[in-house]
Amino acid sequence: MIYGDRNTGVLVQGATGKQGEFHIGLMNAYARQVGGRGVVAGVTPGKGGQQVHGVPVYNTVKDAMKEHDIGSAVIFVPAGAAADAIMEEANAGLTTIVCITEHIPVHDTMKAIAYARTEGASIIGPNCPGLLSPGEVKMGIMPSGLFSRGNVGVISRSGTLTYEVVDELTRAGIGQSTVVGIGGDPVIGQTFVDVLERFEKDPQTKAVVLIGEVGGNLEEEGAKSTDLPIVSYIAGVSAPPDKRMGHAGAIVEGGEGDARSKIARLKKHGVPVASRVSEIPEMVRELFRCRC
Amino acid sequence: MKLREYEAKKVMKEAGIPVPAGVLIRLADELTPHIGELGDAFVLKAQVDVGGRGKAGGILMADKNTGRAVAEELFGKQIKGLPVHEVLAEQRLTIHHEYYLSITVDRSSKQPLILFTEAGGVDIEITAREHPELIRKATPNPLMRDIPSFMLRELVGTAPKEIGPIINRLYRVFIEKDALLAEINPLVTTPIGVFAADAKIIVDDNALGRQGFTVNRGLSEREREAEKHGFSYVELDGAIGVIGNGAGLTMATLDLIEYYGGKAANFLDVGGGAESERVMNAVRLVASVPAVKVIVVNLLGGITKCDEVAKGIIAAGISQKVIVRLAGTNEAEGRKLLSEKGYEMLDTMDLVVKKAVEVTA
C-alpha cells in the first residue's frame, strides 16, 4: 500500500455537498466490504454538528482532527474554494490530501501546492479520481467493482481510461496493488516521479502501468526515475496541436508534449508502450515473464 | 484564451512595461487623425485570433503618405481565412537589439518558469534546441508577490539593467491576470529606451470568469455550444463522431480510430454522471456536424448509469448510425433499452471502433 491502508481514517472536505455526500456513501460501503475505517469525519464550514451517512461533520479540519484519528483527506469542494481547502488541511497537519475538484485556476493550484510543500503535505490531484488500494482503502471516486488485489501498480493522468485499464487487468487475472489517478491538470501535486518513488518502497508492487497523455513530459521524467518494470500507454496520438483534449493539461504546446515523441522517448528508455489499451495485460505478463 | 495583441499590450502598459505608441482602428479612415502621433513610419498589424499572421501577410509597413491605402489593403484581406476587423497601427521602432522574455507554468517544478535570452530575434524553439546555454531560467516561488532581486540579476546578466524591473512587472501581469503564458518577443532596445515590441498573453480558461471575460473567443461556435452544456469538445476532420465519458477514454477512442485506419470527426467528453438529457444533447451536437456518417459511443459507467445513457441516445433520434459500447453501472438495463430499439452494441472499444471504421471505409 502507498498513501494509506484499511487503518487510515479519511476526512472528506465538502461533506454536505451533492458529490461529497454521494461519495462518502460509496467510500464507506467499500470500507465495510474490506473491514476498513473509511470516512470518519466530514468538514463543511457552517454545517458543523450535522451528519452525512452517520459521519459527523465539523466546521473546520482542526475541529475534526481533535475528535478523530485522521490520516488523509479527500476534497470535493467547488473550484473557487479548493485551493483554500488544500491549504487548510496542510496547515492542520494532514500529509496526504486528495483533491478531486476540477477547473481550479492553475495559479491557485500552484500557490496551494507551494504552501503544502512548506507544511510537508503531499497533494494528489487536483482534477483526479483519487486512489484505490484493492482490499484496503478507497480515497476518491473510483468504481471499486472493477478492481482486484495484486501486485501491479497503476498511475494515470486520467479517470475513466484508468478504469478501462483496471478492468482489462482484472479480466486478465492481473490484480493491482494501488491505482492512483494523479490528475489531468497542467500543475498537479504528486507526479509520476513521486508515485513511482512510493511504489519502489512498497513490497507489494512488482510492476507498474503508467498511463499518460499529451502535454508536458512528466511521463518521461517518471520512467527515467525508477528501476521498477513499467508498461506504458499514452493517449492522444491523434490529438491536433494547440487543442485542449478535455483535460486542462492535455495540450500539445509549442511543438512539445505530443504523444508520438513522448512514446519515442519512453521506448528509447526501454519502456514498452502499448498502442491499444487492450494490449496492456499481455505486455504486463511479458514483464513478469522476463523477470522469471 | 489568447488575448489579442492590442489587449495584451494594454495590460502590459498598465503594468508599467513600455510599449510602442499605437492606436487600434476598425476602419481605414480612423487612421488619418492619428498619423501625426505615430511618426513618419509605422506598422499596421491585423488583430486576428490566429498564429503566424506575419507570414500570412497580416503585418504591413506604411508611412504617413501610404498609411491610409495600406490600411485599406489590410482590411480587405483574409488572414488564414479570417476577415480583418481590427488593425493595430504602431510607431516603427529603431531596434538596436532583440531579447526574448517569457513566463509560463512549469509542470515539473509546479512553479512559474521565466525564460530570458539575449539571443533574441530568432525562433526561441531553435535557440532552445541548438544553444540551450544561451537561455537563462528561473522558477520563483508562486507564494511571493515579486521576484527576488538576486533572481532578476541572474536572469538579466549582461543585458541592460532596466530589463530587470520589466521582468518583475511581467511576472506581476502573469500572476494577476491568471496567465498560462506572458511573453514579450521581442523585447527590444532602441535609442529611446526598452520596449515590448510584441506581446502575448494566454489567460487560463478556468479563470476567465474572475478575469471578467464572458465569452471564450478561443473556441469555435460549436465548441462554445458544447461548453454551454459542460462538454469538452474538439472538432477534427474525419467522418466518425466520438462520444465518451472522461477525457482520457475519449482520447483513447480517437487513437483507436486512427489505429484501425479511420478518421474521427470530433471528440466529445460528456463528463461523469451524465443523465439522459445530457447524453441526448451530446449525440445531437456530434450528429449536427455534416461530415459525421457514424457515431461511436464509448461509455464506461462508474458514476454514469448505462440506462440513462441508453435513454439519451434513443431520445436524440438522429439519422446517422450509432454504435454503442456500454459497460458498468446498470449495464443490463441499458443494453435492453437499446436492443429493443435495434441499436448496434458491441462489447469492447476495439470492436465498436473497428465497426465504425468499416462503415465509413
CA-based nearest residue to B93, from B204, B188, B17, B169: B188
Specify the CATH number of the domain B21-91: 3.30.1490.20
Q: Is the bond leading into B186 cis (omega within 30 degrees of zero)?
A: yes
CA angle (B271 as vertex; B304, A46 as ends), nearest 5:
85
Contact list, A249 vs chain B (CB under 8 Å): 107
Mean pLDDT of the residues in chain A = 95
Return the H-helix or E-strand segment holding B358.
helix B349-360
- At residue A291, the pLDDT reads 57
Please name the member of A159, A187, A259 whose beta carbon is closest to the beta carbon of B248: A159
Residue B260: pLDDT over 90: yes
Residue B122: pLDDT over 80: no
- Phi-psi map region of B262: left, alpha, beta (phi>0 left; psi -120 to 50 alpha): beta
Q: Which residue do the cell numbers 476567465 mark?
A: B208
Domain boundaries, chain B: 21-91, 97-207, 221-360
Architecture of the domain defined by B221-360: 3-Layer(aba) Sandwich (3.40)
Residues of B (29-88) whose Cβ lies below 8 Å from A: 51
How close does chain B come to A43, measured CA to CA in Å? 23
Residue B302: pLDDT over 80: no
Percentage of residues in chain A with pLDDT exceeding 70? 99
Suggest the residue from A91, A142, A238, A277 to mutate for an interface test with chain B (most B CBs closer than 10 A).
Answer: A238
Residue A290: pLDDT over 80: no
CA-based nearest residue to A228, from A160, A155, A175: A155
State yes or no: is B100 an active-site residue.
yes
Contact list, B210 vs chain A (CB under 8 Å): 105
For the segment B310-333, what is each residue's pLDDT rounded down to a tens digit?
999 999 999 999 999 998 888 899
For the segment A2-47, what is each residue's pLDDT rounded down to a tens digit?
999 999 999 999 999 999 999 999 999 999 999 999 999 999 999 9
Say if the Cβ atoms of B249 and A141 lie within 8 Å.
no
Residue B160: pLDDT over 70: yes
Say if the Cβ atoms of B110 and A189 lie within 8 Å.
yes
Percentage of residues in chain A with pLDDT exceeding 90? 92
| CA A161 to each of CA A27, A276, B21, B235, B248: distance values in angstroms, whole numbers, following the listed order | 20, 12, 51, 21, 5
**Quick check: B241 contacting A, CB < 8 Å?**
no
Domains and CATH numbers, chain A: 10-124 (3.40.50.720), 142-291 (3.40.50.261)
- Catalytic machinery residues of A: 247
Say if the Cβ atoms of B302 and A141 lie within 8 Å.
yes
Q: Cα(A137)–Cα(A10) distance, rounded to whole angstroms?
A: 9
Residue B216: pLDDT over 90: no
Residues of A (11-50) whose Cβ lies below 8 Å from B: 22
How close does chain B come to A224, measured CA to CA in Å? 14
Say if the Cβ atoms of A277 and B349 lie within 8 Å.
yes
Contact list, B206 vs chain A (CB under 8 Å): 79, 103-106, 248
**Quick check: B250 contacting A, CB < 8 Å?**
yes
Residues of A (199-238) whose Cβ lies below 8 Å from B: 211, 213-218, 221, 233, 235-238
Q: Which residue do the cell numbers 471502433 mark?
A: B353
Which residues are within 8 A (CB) of A29 and not within 5 positions of it... i.e. 6 or more apart?
none
Please name the member of B255, B302, B350 whose beta carbon is closest to the beta carbon of A235: B255
Say if the Cβ atoms of B254 and A22 lie within 8 Å.
no
> What does the pLDDT average to over A166-195?
97
For the segment A89-129, what is each residue's pLDDT rounded down to a tens digit?
999 999 999 999 999 999 999 999 999 999 999 999 999 99
How close does chain A come to B63, measured CA to CA in Å? 34
Architecture of the domain defined by B97-207: 2-Layer Sandwich (3.30)
Contact list, A275 vs chain B (CB under 8 Å): 259
Mean pLDDT of the residues in chain B = 93
| Ordered DSSP codes for A178-221 | EEEE--SSSS-SS-HHHHHHHHHH-TT--EEEEEEESSSSHHHH
- At residue A190, the pLDDT reads 98
Residue of A nearest to B205 (CA): A105
- At residue B303, the pLDDT reads 74
Residue A292: pLDDT over 80: no
Question: Annotated catalytic residue: which of B5, B6, B90, B183?
Answer: B183
Confidence of residue B245 (pLDDT cuts 50, 70, 90): very high
| Ordered DSSP codes for A136-157 | TEEEE---GGG--EEEEEEEES
Q: Cα(A54)–Cα(A63) distance, rounded to whole angstroms?
A: 17
For the segment B36-95, what is each residue's pLDDT rounded down to a tens digit?
888 889 999 999 988 778 889 999 999 989 999 999 999 999 998 889 999 999 999 999
For the segment A258-284, what is each residue's pLDDT rounded down to a tens digit?
999 999 999 999 999 999 999 999 999
Say if the Cβ atoms of B329 and A143 lie within 8 Å.
yes
Asked if residue A129 lies in contact with residue A181, where contact means CB atoms within 8 angstroms, the answer is yes
